[in-house]
Structure 1
Amino acid sequence: MSGHSKWATIKHKKGAADKARAKVFNKIARLLEVAAREGGADPSSNASLRSVMQKAKAAQMTNDAIDRAVKRGAGLAGGGNYEAITYEGYAPGGVAMLVDVLTDNRNRSGGDVRNIFSKLGGSLAEPGAVGWQFSRRGVLLVNGGDEESLMMLALEVGADDVADDGDGAWRITCDPHLVFDVRDALLAAGLEVVSAESTMVSSLTVEVTDAADARQILRIIDALEDNDDVQDVFSNFDISEALMEAVSE
């Protein structure tokens, strides 16, 4: 499990995820608007919208809220005019970060992201500086099952790999367009799918062993994710379970 994933798990256990639910809903609503505006309001013919709707339902967003956002995007109700931008940066320890933003004000968002990096010991990088090491993949976390049978099932439905994620969990990677097909096959087989998402995965991993660096990295992630315009933050760091627990206390 990546350092970012471990931190998300710890925050969820501490209840931080519940406190931020309204903010998460607002961010997903923007994604729904953009997907509907660009590809239409019918999820059966708009794969991007279908994917975001799955994300909304996984976050327990109500059907009414989803429908309202889709209607705004399709022009059936008032909505914003959002632009997608990806910023690249470095956190302490040479950790690479991608920051996906959906904004109606490029200057505001750019300034916010730059300030977060600079105030917390990181730096904004030029386009392409770190983006080359990330690629979009479908990633699923599954509890239970044995490696051999899970591998056979996953490969049969189009997955690329199954890896031990520790504590009886497995990490399955696949083409991002197949993530929900793979999820449905796993659920049909009676397996517990903890999460299924399209995400950016780095080809390089930076092992963080310094507690001060670890704290600053996590502060940068928290500050970015707390910004209304930021949709996703991707990073390439890994931190041991012991250090993660220590710096999160």
Structure 2
Amino acid sequence: MYHHTRRIYSKLIHNPTVLNSILKRNAGHSKWANIKHIKGLKDGQKSMMFTKLSRQMKVAVQLGGSPDPKFNLKLEQVVEQAKRMSMPIATIESILKSTQTDKKQCKSYLIEIKGPGSCIILCDVFTENLHALKQVMATMLKKHSSKFSEGSGGMHFFDEKGIIIVDPLEGNKPEEDVLEIATEHAIESGAEDVQVLEDGYIEFICSTGVFNKVQEALAKLNYKINSASIEFIPNKVQTLSDTDLEICSNLVSKLENHPEIVRVFNNVA
């Protein structure tokens, strides 16, 4: 989890009336917007990230029907992300090969949780035994003032978007200038929103339908893509007390460390 409150400059690209204004905000789409992957990972963190990417590849093969990235768009996206995270090619190939021989009937599920202070937590899981996994999760939730959410009402608090983070521009330009340049390129590439993150990294947000197109356009504009993924972004955030925030942080950390939980999202302000 990335807990640091960051200064962000942002423009909403899909609304032409704001092209000449700069919105400064402190939390972006969430106080916990996950940019730790641009900071460099310690060995333990890298091992966990590789485990998560491995499971994401298996999910992509299951959903896309092919272990060949050339014929599976979702798999191609995950493989590219794994390469950016310096996962060895041999490891990637081994994972893809294992999907053809692995007899486990794992399936992908999205689990909703009502967390501390009525926040919403989404868990993207990949397991062969959902009942057993939920039993383990239930113990975690009980210890952290949380419970499984009935139905799928929590999904209304999120939008599924493509998130593309690129390396800082050269030349140590002022953040306002960086935003102006990035805004023009976001419009040109088809992105909906752009933000300047801390240390100059730039985040482009787009609809899932143009995710690959935007990446290709940004690459042609000489941006170096640091990470690219499809994520659930909160459209309505929940403010927590300091106590609930700490409880929620501990819960999310435990959920993220479970090998069958691929990704975790939340709507904490």
**What range is the shorter-chain TM-score in?**
0.7 to 0.9
In the alignment, is the contact (CA less than 8 A) between 2:59 and 2:108 conserved in 1? no
In the alignment, is the contact (CA less than 8 A) between 2:81 and 2:227 conserved in 1? no
Q: Which residue of 2 aligns with 1:22?
A: 47
| 1:97-136 equivalent positions in 2, closer than 5 A | 97-136=121-160
Q: 1:215 aligns with which of 246, 250, 260?
A: 246
Residue ranges of structure 2 left out of the alignment (5+ in a row): 1-27, 170-176
Q: 2:229 aligns with which of 184, 192, 197?
A: 197
Shift of 1:192: 4.8
Shift of 1:169: 4.3
Q: Distance in 2 between matches of 1:181 and 1:147?
A: 21
Q: Distance in 1 between matches of 2:102 and 2:199?
A: 47
Q: Which residue of 2 aligns with 1:181?
A: 213
Shift of 1:113: 1.9
| 1:39-50 equivalent positions in 2, closer than 5 A | 39-50=65-76
Greater relative contact order (Cα < 8 A, sep 6+) = 2
CA gap of 1:86–1:154, structure 2 versus 1, over 3 A, is: same
Q: Secondary structure at the match of 1:4?
A: coil
Q: 1:78 aligns with which of 79, 99, 102?
A: 102
Shift of 1:227: 0.6
Q: Which residue of 1 aligns with 2:31?
A: 3
The AA in structure 2 aligned to 1:31 is Q
Q: Which residue of 1 aligns with 2:113?
A: 89
Q: Distance in 2 between matches of 1:34 and 1:196?
A: 17
Q: Distance in 1 between matches of 2:130 and 2:150?
A: 16
Shift of 1:201: 1.0
Task: Give the total of aligned pairs.
Answer: 232
Q: Secondary structure at the match of 2:152?
A: coil
Q: Secondary structure at the match of 1:206?
A: coil
Q: Distance in 1 between matches of 2:205 and 2:182?
A: 12
Q: Secondary structure at the match of 1:89?
A: strand
Q: Distance in 1 between matches of 2:44 and 2:157?
A: 33
| 1:221-240 equivalent positions in 2, closer than 5 A | 221-238=252-269
In the alignment, is the contact (CA less than 8 A) between 1:39 and 1:49 conserved in 2? no
Q: 2:56 aligns with which of 25, 31, 51?
A: 31
Residue ranges of structure 1 left out of the alignment (5+ in a row): 239-249
CA gap of 1:110–1:32, structure 2 versus 1, over 3 A, is: same
TM-score, length-normalised on structure 2?
0.76
Q: Distance in 1 between matches of 2:248 and 2:235?
A: 19
Shift of 1:9: 3.2
In the alignment, is the contact (CA less than 8 A) between 1:72 and 1:79 conserved in 2? no
Q: Percent identity?
A: 22
Q: Which residue of 2 aligns with 1:57?
A: 83
Shift of 1:51: 1.3
The AA in structure 1 aligned to 2:108 is A
In the alignment, is the contact (CA less than 8 A) between 1:33 and 1:79 conserved in 2? no
Q: Which residue of 2 aligns with 1:152?
A: 184
In the alignment, is the contact (CA less than 8 A) between 1:157 and 1:181 conserved in 2? yes
CA gap of 1:150–1:229, structure 2 versus 1, over 3 A, is: same
After superposition, the C-alpha distances for 1:40-63 in whole angstroms (9 at most, x for unaligned) are 122122111111212222222211
After superposition, the C-alpha distances for 1:128-186 in whole angstroms (9 at most, x for unaligned) are 13112222101123434622322221122221122344554443210224334323433
Q: Secondary structure at the match of 2:126?
A: strand
Q: Choose 60-69 or 21-30, whichever is displaced more.
A: 21-30
Name whichever structure is richer in strand by fraction. 1
Shift of 1:194: 3.9
